[in-house]
Amino acid sequence: MKEAAARIKINKLLENAGWRFFADAKGPANIRLEPSVTVKTQDLDALGENFEKSSKGFIDFLLLNEKSFPFIVLEAKAEDKNPLVGKEQARKYAKSQNCRFVILSNGNLHYFWDLERGNPYVITAFPTPTSVTGYQKSVPDPKRLIEEVIDDDYVVLTQRPGYLSEAAWKNEAERPRFIEINSLRFLRPYQKKAIVAIQQTVKKGSDRFLLEMATGTGKTLTAAAIIKLFLRTGNARRVLFLVDRLELEDQALKAFKKVLANDYKSVIYKENRDDWRHAEIVVTTVQSLLFNNKYQQLFSPTDFDLVISDEAHRSIGGNARAVFDYFIGYKLGLTATPRDYLKKFSKDTPTTKDPREFERRLLLDTYRTFGCDDGQPTYRYSLLDGVKDGFLINPTVVDARSEVTTQLLSDSGFVAQFKDENGDDQEEAYKQREFEKRFFSPATNQLFCKIFLENALRDPISGEIGKSIVFAVSQNHAAKLAQVLNEMADRMFPGKYSSDFAVQVTSQVDGAQQHTINFTNNNLLGSANFIPTYKTSKARVCVTVGMKRWWPPTAN
């Protein structure tokens, strides 16, 4: 029967979450059936025959806290019924028992409902007693969150000795006296607007937000201010910050420690597996939680009150969505990929060969996930906005085409003629996407590197090539480009670099993650090539794969 099947599933879910029908070595029974239904061990499964009905009315599960007081009402329905049909009945019963929490379930679909927070949330597992006990300590106060004043110094980057303030940096005469700078110390106007947009969205009753901010505009710093907003106003007890790459994990932790260390503790989960419950901010990769379904085994849906997804359209795509959906509470997505990226893409004639088709699906799904069904994010600060306000520099496009690249971009592609093993003349056409994957052109790579070196911006103090990132199409391609750049640098700057000008930073290279950290901190492969007292990385170019930003922008 549908009732019996639902009951068996619900019993199993309760057991997996640590709830007990009977006392055991772990503690006393913390499940009671209402109203006044007595259950014996041998009768437990039989109860499922028609668990919604009894001579004394409907049967609900009443889950008890550690002191055996009513804690959570679990309203169980048959498999063929939507569990939400029991919503009002459960609310009434919960209030009569002085319970704040309700679970609605038909064995397949489950909702967790905090009567003080608004609407029921879909959950994929039942919360543990310990988790809900901690969750109960956080009493949401949206009004306080909405009215919190966000000043310029709401979060401030730590200033270390020897750093030049942003105001002093504008004085050109003062620059040579300092060897390090910290160009961002206070929240910028657009960052404060992003936070206010979150507050206004909460005021409208929503708990999902999406910030679309261009690369280099300080999404992580903005996220830190939002985290402080939720923690400080009591609307979050613990925050989960999800990233999709190890490099971003370490980068986020360092950023949070710089601005929030005095008030809150931040940890990377895998490094502090026994310590995360004592931290307010937990940073981790989606992949580490997905491994062996760790997120279900080690966490409860109520362990985090705010979940932030960095690079949202990647960190909630595919299997990663299961992790994101598992936790209840406020959800914030961060992305640098503008929706306008797709404005010239025809969704009526999609093709799986066009990489924008996959990107389109991810972005559309991302907007819906964060409550932006109309395609408008909670707040947007584009590249053009940043350029207009003087915080970003518009990219400069340099024409570096060659005869080969011109043909690769043509409809017919580049046609290569060769002789086969039998000595017969053959020809094969290659398209743009096959460049450096199936078709190799040393001359073209030489041209690209030459154009880059001729047009690269120079460090304003030392005059050497500015720190740069070059993106290759494969790891093999990255190795070639690094070699070409090093050879050219030796000719341009004799005796300066000794093959340290360009460095391949990909997964096949040992210590690649540390390379990214050293590059950011201006000490990759040493320092002081041109001016002994000026701290800047000896390696000037990192060659990596894929159009993803690995490092935060630096001033030198």
Q: What is the pLDDT of residue 511?
A: 84
Quick one: which H or E segment has residue 110?
strand 110-114
The arithmetic mean of pLDDT across residues 103-108, rounded, is 92
451 and 555 in a single domain? The answer is yes
343-355 confidence digits (pLDDT tens)? 544 555 555 555 5
Quick one: which H or E segment has residue 195?
helix 189-203
Contact status, residue 111 vs residue 196, Cβ threshold 8 Å: no
Q: What is the pLDDT of residue 405?
A: 62
Apex 163 CA angle, 161 and 167, nearest 5: 130
127-149 confidence digits (pLDDT tens)? 999 888 888 887 788 999 999 99
Q: In whole angstroms, how far apart are CA 129 and each of 60, 66, 81, 197, 410?
A: 18, 8, 27, 35, 63
16 and 55 in a single domain? The answer is yes
Q: What is the pLDDT of residue 158?
A: 53
Q: How do 121-123 and 110-114 pair as beta strands? A: antiparallel
Q: What is the pLDDT of residue 293?
A: 84
498: pLDDT confidence band, cut at 50, 70 and 90? confident
Choice among 22-26, 169-173, 265-269 with the minimum mean pLDDT: 169-173
Higher per-residue confidence, 471 vs 361: 471
Q: Three-class SS string for 514-543?
A: HHHHHHHCCCCCCECCCCCCCCCECCCEEE
317 and 422 in a single domain? The answer is no
Q: What is the pLDDT of residue 179?
A: 35
Predicted confidence (pLDDT) at residue 429 exceeds the cutoff of 70:
no
350 and 423 in a single domain? The answer is no
Predicted confidence (pLDDT) at residue 103 exceeds the cutoff of 70:
yes
Predicted confidence (pLDDT) at residue 209 exceeds the cutoff of 70:
yes
**Within a domain: residue 214?**
yes
Higher per-residue confidence, 283 vs 551: 283
Please state, in angstroms and rounded to a whole number, the distance separating the CA atoms of residues 168 and 554. 17
Predicted confidence (pLDDT) at residue 63 exceeds the cutoff of 80:
yes
**Within a domain: residue 147?**
no
**Within a domain: residue 411?**
yes
Q: What is the pLDDT of residue 157?
A: 64
Quick one: which H or E segment has residue 404?
helix 403-409
324 and 199 in a single domain? The answer is yes
The total domain count for the chain is 5
Concatenated DSSP letters for 60-86? EEEEE-TTS-EEEEEEE--TTS-GGGG
Predicted confidence (pLDDT) at residue 504 exceeds the cutoff of 90:
yes
Q: What is the pLDDT of residue 348?
A: 55
Domain that includes residue 19, residue range: 2-136
Higher per-residue confidence, 33 vs 232: 232
516-525 confidence digits (pLDDT tens)? 888 888 889 8
363 and 401 in a single domain? The answer is no
The arithmetic mean of pLDDT across residues 162-167, rounded, is 45
Structure tokens at 323: 């992790």
168 and 63 in a single domain? The answer is no
Q: Across the chain, what does the average pLDDT equal?
A: 78
Displacement of CA 521 from its chain's centroid (Å): 23
544 and 497 in a single domain? The answer is yes
508 and 478 in a single domain? The answer is yes
Cβ count within 10 A of residue 442: 9
449 and 422 in a single domain? The answer is no
The arithmetic mean of pLDDT across residues 375-384, rounded, is 88
Please state, in angstroms and rounded to a whole number, the distance separating the CA atoms of residues 252 and 517. 12
213 and 330 in a single domain? The answer is yes
CATH code of the domain covering residue 363: 3.40.50.10810
Predicted confidence (pLDDT) at residue 50 exceeds the cutoff of 50:
no
**Within a domain: residue 146?**
no
Choice among 25-29, 113-117, 120-124, 359-363 with the minimum mean pLDDT: 359-363
**Within a domain: residue 220?**
yes
List phi, psi (to 5°) of 86.
-95, 10
CATH code of the domain covering residue 78: 3.90.1570.30
The arithmetic mean of pLDDT across residues 298-327, rounded, is 81
Q: What is the pLDDT of residue 549?
A: 38
322 and 349 in a single domain? The answer is yes
